[in-house]
Amino acid sequence: MTSAEAVEPLPAPGDAVPAPGDARADDVAAHQRPAPAAEPIARHLHGTLDDADAPVLVLSHGITDSAACWAGAVEHWTAAGYRVVALDARGHGDSPRWEDADLVSQTTAGARLAEDLESTLEDLRAHGLRPSPDAPDAGPLTAPLVVVGHSMGGVTSLEVAARRPDLVDAAIGEDPAFTTPAWNRLLRLNAYRQVREMRGIAADPVARFALETRDNPTWSHEEVRASVEASSGVDLRFIALGCVAPPTPWETIVDDLAVPTLIITGTRRVVLRGSYFPAVTGRGNPNVAGAVVVGAPHCVRRTFPERFHSLTDPWLEEHLEHPARPPRPH
């Protein structure tokens, strides 16, 4: 996710936004599980994969990014002994493009995002760390598994963790793109702008790389390059929907989280800004903790990697050393 299109200024929850006047499927709140996709999403494995006891982090990126945009975090976490599975969301990176049936509305597309992650986790748990479902069975994965996601990937990770705690031991969301029906209407109305921006990046990726590195001096050039490449190749039919998350209401996700969860945000052009962050973290779920990195934008990790990992690393150590549930049998 490049900085210029990371987060459009949106109304806070409760702000009045003119409704379009029709009851669209996009505004359906309940999660609707779609039919299985023809092709699974791409996964990229990192770390000492044959260390059966090493915890596994499953990474889900934000809209217009790709698995390659986690390069710094992958290097950090694999050096710390974690095994990492970085995913390309559908229509991003090496994953298959979107199918027409899933692009009917924001609801169907958002449900597919969650289904893709859920199916991947099911395969990892049943068959171990293998590069694709077609690869040889690596045996069941019994080590602790943590879903980690940014923005779109943050909501998707938390939604699946809330519905399928049997697959997940803990969850981390980096400024998850929790939305409301009003936000979704605005995103749908303004999606053409992001489509236009992605076309501009694809037309001149060198100029975009120069802009991003100038405006974000702390971002690694490797991740900026990966982000620009991902934006240049993203499936624009998905971008045109204005979909950034599964359709489950954020209140339901937060209330249903039964595994340890850490939600991190910043203070500059973030989704969880102002009163929104305490509204999310203050709902009384003892499994949910929050942290704010002052001065950080939507891409907290990319802007202040040391500060980000100073929050995630001790939290991971604490919750994986003292898990909320008994270890899975080998």
**Residue 232 counted as domain residue:** no
The per-residue pLDDT for 253 is 98
DSSP state of 41: P
pLDDT in tens, 175-226: 999 999 999 999 999 999 999 999 999 999 999 999 999 999 999 999 999 9
**Residue 255 counted as domain residue:** yes
The per-residue pLDDT for 1 is 61
Task: Label residue 276 by pLDDT band (50, 70, 90).
Answer: very high
**Residue 285 counted as domain residue:** yes
Q: Residue 203: helix, strand or coil by DSSP?
A: helix
The per-residue pLDDT for 272 is 95
**Residue 187 counted as domain residue:** no
- Domain membership of residue 166 as a residue range: 43-181+246-319
**Residue 108 counted as domain residue:** yes
**Residue 215 counted as domain residue:** no
pLDDT in tens, 77-121: 999 999 999 999 999 999 999 999 999 999 999 999 999 999 999
Total domains in the chain come to 1
- Any idea which residue has 């209401």 for tokens? 249
Percent of the chain with pLDDT over 70: 86
**Residue 225 counted as domain residue:** no
Mean pLDDT estimate for the chain: 89
Task: Label residue 327 by pLDDT band (50, 70, 90).
Answer: low
Position 160, amino acid: V
If residue 215 lies in a helix (H) or strand (E), which one and from where to where? helix 205-215
pLDDT in tens, 109-148: 999 999 999 999 999 999 999 999 999 999 999 999 999 9
Q: Which residues of 259-289 are buried (b: 16+ CB within 10 A; e: fewer)?
A: bbbbbbbbbebbbbbeebbebbbeeebebbe
Q: What is the pTM of this model?
A: 0.89
CA distances from 53 to 49, 238, 286, 320, 322 (A): 10, 38, 27, 11, 15
CA distances from 47 to 59, 65, 73, 84, 314 (A): 13, 22, 12, 6, 20
Write out the two tokens for 283: 């709902």
Instruction: Find the CATH number of the domain harbouring 145.
Output: 3.40.50.1820
- Any idea which residue has 């940014």 for tokens? 150
pLDDT in tens, 312-322: 999 999 999 76
pLDDT in tens, 3-56: 544 444 344 443 333 332 333 333 333 334 555 556 899 999 999 999 999 999
**Residue 282 counted as domain residue:** yes
